[in-house]
Structure 1
Amino acid sequence: MLFRTRQMRLTPRHVAHLQPTTIDVALPKPPVGMREATQADYDAAIAHLFSEADHHEETWVFAYGSLIWRPACDYVEVRTGRLHGWHRRFCLGWNTGFRGSPENPGLMLALDRGGACNGALYRLPPDTRDENVQKLLEREMSWLPSSFPPRWVKVKSGDRTVRALTFCIDRHSGRYVAGLSEEQIADMLATATGTRSSMADYLYSTVSHLEDMGIHDPHMWRLQHMVAERIEAVYER
């Protein structure tokens, strides 16, 4: 069911101005100081995540950004939830491949400490838990050491509180970017384009799917309006 009642200013028309001329989805080489994760790394991460004595039968994943509209795993149930103590923020940088370039680098969403975040909860199929967790790890931490490692959090959903797996920024990571104003973030989102797509496309997909689920994020809503204004000023004068 669609819940959207507000009309976004940022539209596919704006996004089309920033589409790359060619699409390349191949994984770029890791940045200096990082390496590609191996099967042994994924096996170790899964073993660590499920080594606790209070392991639950249900496995939930909390999605706050691109996992909302491209989950990268199978699921048997989806619902909305609210995570306290973390907020959605453009703080994972800098992307000079998929959604940015050395001249105009991109900045991805991650969960940063403080505040709260509304997002999507996906329940994984119990009989293929490890297989689907690996799909998530391959998507979110293909390079090591990870700048936003997986961790367990408690998410409120209706009258339930579920234990969910999610990915939070490591503030000590060299990829943590802080101190940018909304204006600076909007400038980046309106210009960064990489081999896969643009940051404007990433923003549009995230905000539109949040709205469709009945989740209104004021910060993200302001950003989509600001990014649309910037694109119009350059391409639609």
Structure 2
Amino acid sequence: MKPQDIVAGKSSLWIFGYGSLVWKPDFKYKRSKVGYIKGYKRRFWHGDNFHRGDDEMPGRVVTLIEEDDVCTWGVAFEVTGSQMEESLKYLNVREAVRGGYLTRAVDFFPRGTNQPPVQALVYIATPDNPIYLGPASTEEIASQIAVCKGNSGHNIEYLLRLAEFMRVSCPDVDDPHLFSIEAALLATIRPILLAA
């Protein structure tokens, strides 16, 4: 689905972030809301050879995997007027060109409200993407994250900021995949930090 198809005839657009967008949207928006989408689980199964890694050592970043009876928490940003075109142009480069993500329309459910869901645009990397890495053990993912660095910084930062977002903004939500990788990473780097 092309972003233009989603925004046609609309005066505003919601964009759902579940990875680095939750702490670093880097585009102007009218407002943001924490909430979730249904039918997807967050997984560190996508490779990143620009922002958090390189061609020789791609970092691991999150994508969404379809699965019934699950939800993924994140932040939705409402963009209006000229912000719509500007944000989509920026995100096309950040997520689609450099990251290989595709766009989909999803229902976003704001936290703690009785409001109906709103349609939001989300970026998802699929197994068809050449830098899609797929599943690996918690320890393998943590080890890869521990050594990768790209143009936007170290892959460790990506993991720790995402875990911090979940603890601060969604304290009642458990994300075993995310938190188990964080624990494995900290166990991996703790001896290095203690030796320094």
Q: TM-score, normalised by structure 1?
A: 0.70
In structure 1, list runs of 5 or more residues that go unmatched.
1-44
**2:103 aligned residue:** 150
Distance 1:97 1:129, change over 3 A: closer
Distance, in Å, in 2 between the alignment partners of 1:154 and 1:171 is 23
**1:233 aligned residue:** 191
User: What is the SS of the residue equivalent to 2:153?
Assistant: coil
Instruction: State the structure with bigger RCO (CA 8 A, min sep 6), 1 or 2.
Output: 1
Answering whether residue 5 of structure 2 is matched by residue 48 of structure 1, we say: yes
**Where is the strand percentage greater, Structure 1 or Structure 2?**
2
**1:138 aligned residue:** 93
Shift of 1:122: 0.9
**1:73 aligned residue:** 27
When the two structures are aligned, how many residues end up with a matched partner? 188
The letter for the 1-side match of 2:104 is R
Answering whether residue 179 of structure 2 is matched by residue 221 of structure 1, we say: yes
Distance 1:101 1:47, change over 3 A: closer
* Identity level (%): 24
CA contact (8 A) 1:76 1:124 kept: yes
CA contact (8 A) 2:109 2:117 kept: yes
Counting only pairs closer than 5 Å after superposition, residues 57-206 of structure 1 correspond to structure 2 as: 57-93=11-47, 95-101=48-54, 104-114=57-67, 115-143=70-98, 147-157=100-110, 158-159=113-114, 160-206=116-162
Distance, in Å, in 2 between the alignment partners of 1:83 and 1:210 is 15
Larger Rg: 1
Distance, in Å, in 2 between the alignment partners of 1:127 and 1:83 is 26
CA contact (8 A) 2:159 2:182 kept: yes
The letter for the 2-side match of 1:189 is I
Indicate the RMSD between aligned Cα atoms, in angstroms. 2.3
